[in-house]
Structure 1
């Protein structure tokens, strides 16, 4: 009921009648205000940063279904992806929605430390999410508590063309030594062994992640990401020794700083390179009628017996600490996160579902990544997601420089160590 439904009082009515109607009007007005308060509690505001129009359509469909079943009015505000990165710093403080899309890992932790994301461990427990999320749960966990739900992921590894490997009789490398042998075969065939474009810098950081995870494991890698380990620590010596060996062996694209990842992916598509380290979006470098030739394998083993730790970069969705309707936010998350609903949402961007019980994808690369995840003991995000943003910027520059001038290694690591001490105040 709204205030406009209460009829105005007429003139010429007896005093007692008038007093009764005034009293009744007051009661009705109070009821109307109460109804309005209830209506406010039955609204759910969501801010998304989704660029993909098809994915926005799926989110709207799920919101409409939830609204119809629950009676909760759902409003979605879709923001530009880049603009959202700035806006979230403000709206979480001054005008928080009930749900917002963001990134897990260090980028989530920054808001957890400021007490701006709500602890939703109760929802995790109620829906038994840990049993289906496996290592992905760690991406939204801080000190044993969960502060969001992981969404579509990017599993990083080595990609190659099935037809090229079949024609050459090549086998995907299972060890770093096999990768070096394959590199020599590729060069003999007039191909670049590993296509690389570091113009945007971050691809070099991905290669560092793989090397460090394979040699030192997840705990030491995350200690470095969290600023608790020095860039001049002896544990990193074998990482840069082996990486430098690969650079000097001519494994990577010459002049890789002048091209981006898209050009590097195109070189793989055009059979000018044998392999490339990337995630599933590599398909956008291929003509659509050749995407079925793309194959995927996890990064090769370096330290024998080291458990499989991978970069599995996950977006996420969160309940802000200052949200007005946390109860219905949790109910919407429970509906949105059903295997069939989450799968429909992720299918539009060919993302890897974090849940192990989602239906198979129509995209072979997604299903291949899901299968590979079964052997993964734990996951990091990606260098620029896992560490402080300022540290990441310096790290990206340093790794790109190392891949060009490996002889500058000591100066690069000393510079990164100086940056680490400044940023993490150690």
Structure 2
């Protein structure tokens, strides 16, 4: 997700009273720091050979408990202790640059793609080729490639991935007689019908800046193809061209159908509206289902791949890969290497999935026997895709995603206007500085 490169930190003593810094988890020797800002986590490599620190941006309840389960399983298997520092998701991303240059944890949660390669090139990560020598057989070639830096070394162990698409409640669609749209024209027609029926056709939330990137990515890939998406993110293609303008012009057709409160609500807010049947569908990643704690609602959720528009049908799927990496300091800690190795095994990923079923394990041999009908469909969607994109702010330069794209998309959502010449001017400056 998005990562504005802010450098300001809240001092730990300013946090006292807002939230206790340490909370017992009831899982052995693990301590969980719930500090609201990244400044409160970190501390570098543990001095003990059988302990490590783990920085996590998985702060929502379900993924937080899933990593607690992984840590407990790791401790049971190895006897190693893990001190986990959990930071609110957006704060973790927004502070990652300064975090890695300060006193980072040994291991930490992060993403595949350019966001991994960028910090590897800055010399802020430890390569883990030795770990991959042990677990490499557990992953597909696509996952291996996504975990590899520009220097050819491995820096990430994938834990899970999750497709983006439209999610909706089956019972609502059945009651209204809605059919799944296969094309963009069918999508627009369905939205018009939903609006007449008193629904907000497309749930939408962009208070945090990053969710709108998913819509941009899909329309761009459906209009211009996967390679153009990749090249635009790398600034091998210009922003000041008709292909980019066409993306926004096509998107304009959906603006009247998207939640008008988008800029003031989080993705969790929009998930609640979908659960309450106030919205007809919602474009987001499958982590959306973490919010549905009522089994009846979760069982009522269906997934719809983004409809085709022009060049490639539905061949490309936005399916970001999340996993674990080691900081430069953490690379000196064998316990930390053992920890990222563990998450690359079926055993480690099974421990995670038992708690968080919204994300799909990436390791071959992981237990899929408990997959729900929805999980099976999500898995098949990824397996059948010819191309997997990571997500704009993972495929692009961090500063381009955070400092340029977020305000541009939020402005577009507000009034339907965008200045592609300005986007290109800023892109030239930022990419030239790398």
Q: Same fold (TM over 0.5)?
A: yes
1:398 has 2:404 as partner: no
Which of 260, 267, 271 is 1:261 aligned to? 267
Contact 2:319–2:382, Cα closer than 8 Å, also in 1: no
5 Å-filtered alignment, 1:339-378, equals 339-350=346-357, 351-360=359-368, 361=370, 364-378=373-387
Pair 1:309-2:316 in alignment: yes
Q: What CA distance in whole angstroms lies between the structure 2 residues aligned with 1:287 and 1:239?
A: 36
2:283: which partner in 1? Answer: 277
Displacement of 1:88: 5.9
Most deviating of 58-67 and 370-379: 58-67
Give runs of aligned pairs for residues 136-155 of structure 1, distance below 5 A.
136-143=143-150, 144-155=152-163
| 220 and 356 in structure 1: CA distance in 2 versus 1, 3 angstrom threshold | farther
Question: Is the counterpart of residue 57 in structure 1 residue 57 in structure 2?
Answer: no
Report how far residue 113 of structure 1 moved. Answer: 0.7
Pair member with larger Rg: 1
Deviation for aligned residue 1:342: 0.9
Aligned to 1:385: 394
The alignment status of 1:115 with 2:126, answered yes or no, reads no
Q: SS at the partner of 1:303? A: coil
Note closer, same or farther for the CA distance 1:347–1:255 as it changes in structure 2 (3 Å cut): same
Q: Secondary structure at the match of 2:260?
A: coil
State whether residues 71 and 82 of structure 2, in contact with CA within 8 Å, keep that contact through their aligned partners in structure 1.
no
Paired residues of 1:214 and 1:303 also in contact (CA < 8 A): yes
Instruction: Flag the 1:226–1:55 CA change in 2: closer, same or farther, 3 A.
Output: same
> C-alpha displacement at 1:153, in angstroms?
2.5
Higher helix proportion: 1
CA contact (8 A) 2:225 2:312 kept: no
**Residue matched to 2:231:** 223
**Deviation for aligned residue 1:390:** 2.7
Displacement of 1:276: 1.0
How many residues get paired? 378
Cα RMSD (Å): 3.1
Query: For residue 78 of structure 2, what is the aligned residue in structure 1?
Result: 67
TM-score, normalised with respect to structure 2:
0.76
Hey, what does 2:327 align to over in structure 1?
A: 320
The CA distance in 2 between the partners of 1:342 and 1:110, in whole Å, is 26
What secondary structure sits across from 1:147 in the alignment? coil
C-alpha separation in 2, matches of 1:363 and 1:385: 28
Tell me how far apart the structure 1 counterparts of residues 409 and 347 of structure 2 sit (CA, whole Å). 40
Which residue of the partner structure matches residue 303 of structure 2?
296
Match of 1:102 among 110, 132, 137: 110
Report 1:38-49 matches (<5 A). Answer: 42-49=49-56
Mapped contact 1:62–1:336 kept (Cα < 8 A) = no
Structure 2 gaps, min length 5: 1-46
Structure 1 distance, partners of 2:422, 2:259, is 26
CA–CA distance in structure 1, aligned partners of residues 293 and 74 of structure 2: 34
Q: Which moved more, 1:209-218 or 1:74-83?
A: 74-83
Q: What is the Cα deviation at residue 159 of structure 1?
A: 0.6
Under a length normalisation based on structure 1, what TM-score does the superposition of the two structures give? Answer: 0.77
- Could you list the per-position Cα deviations for residues 276-310 of structure 1 after superposition, in whole angstroms to 9, with x for gaps in the alignment? 10122333555613221111121111124456222
Within 5 Å, which residues of 2 pair with 1:189-268?
189-247=197-255, 250-268=256-274
Change (3 A) 1:232 1:349: same
Structure-1 separation of matches of 2:170 and 2:274: 11
Q: Is the 8 A contact 2:113 2:147 kept in 1?
A: yes
Gaps of 5+ in 1: 1-39
- Per-residue CA deviations over 1:59-93 (Å, capped at 9, x if unaligned) read 3323223424xxxx444343434665577656755
Separation in structure 2 between the aligned mates of residue 100 and residue 202 of structure 1, nearest angstrom: 21
